[in-house]
């Protein structure tokens, strides 16, 4: 009887340890990103190329981010490469192709993916295409950020910056400014807060 109780106890403890590990909400790199410790997140994510790339992108180190994304087999990595190219302002046709392929294969959050594609088009001088996609998704984007995505997540700051660029290109300067301010508040110390390493929204509008 005692042996049976001991075996059951060991099994239960083992199951509890496995369950606790599976419930761990975030990797160290993710936690550091949420704490706005982006450089530390880069160092902590040597074996996590996706989150290493996200931390590098927050620092504006887009070339290094692309290299790290290429080491990841996560579907989100292709979108990360496309957007990093867009921020750098190069290989924009390739960036659009990557984004379109990703939307076709993984349309889980289609309004955010559409926003990313519209931003790439805007950077590539395809203003009419960019604004058409943006206007088709603007209401849903507004709903998402009003109702669903209200927590200040640094990883959403990039989306807010792209949203701002397209809002300003569509003529809504006040909305664009509010979105830029939210991006800066959600990712303090990042490239999105500093406003460097990528063109301003006004530059993007002029390019188009």
pLDDT tens digit string along 18-51? 434 444 445 698 999 999 999 999 999 989 999 9
d(CA 138, CA 114): 10
Q: Which domain holds residue 60?
A: 2-207
pLDDT tens digit string along 51-63? 999 999 999 999 9
d(CA 128, CA 113): 18
Query: pLDDT-derived band of residue 144, with 50, 70 and 90 as boundaries?
Result: confident
Look at the block and give the residue holding tokens 């909305």: 175
d(CA 126, CA 177): 23
pLDDT above 80 for 158:
yes
Q: What is the CATH number of the domain that holds 141?
A: 1.25.40.10
Largest CA distance in the chain: 81
More confident: 165 or 204: 165
Q: With a threshold of 0.85, does the pTM exceed it?
A: no
pLDDT above 80 for 108:
no
Domain count, the chain: 1
């Amino acid at each position: 009887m005692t042996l049976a109780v001991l075996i059951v106890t060991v099994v239960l403890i083992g199951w509890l340890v496995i369950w606790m590990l599976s419930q761990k909400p975030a990797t160290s790199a993710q936690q550091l990103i949420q704490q706005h410790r982006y450089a530390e997140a880069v160092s902590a994510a040597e074996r996590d190329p996706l989150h290493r790339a996200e931390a590098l992108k927050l620092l504006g180190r887009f070339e290094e981010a692309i290299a790290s994304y290429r080491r990841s087999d996560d579907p989100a990595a292709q979108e990360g490469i496309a957007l990093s190219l867009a921020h750098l302002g190069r290989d924009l046709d390739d960036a659009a192709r990557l984004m379109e392929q990703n939307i076709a294969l993984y349309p889980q959050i289609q309004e955010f993916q559409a926003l990313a594609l519209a931003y790439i088009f805007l950077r590539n001088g395809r203003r009419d295409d960019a604004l058409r996609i943006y206007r088709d998704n603007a209401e849903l984007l507004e709903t998402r950020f009003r109702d669903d995505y209200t927590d200040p997540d640094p990883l959403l700051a990039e989306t807010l910056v792209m949203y701002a660029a397209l809002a300003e290109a569509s003529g809504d300067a006040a909305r664009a400014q509010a979105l830029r301010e939210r991006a800066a508040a959600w990712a303090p110390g990042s490239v999105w807060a500093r406003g460097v390493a990528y063109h301003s929204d006004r530059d993007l509008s002029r390019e188009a």
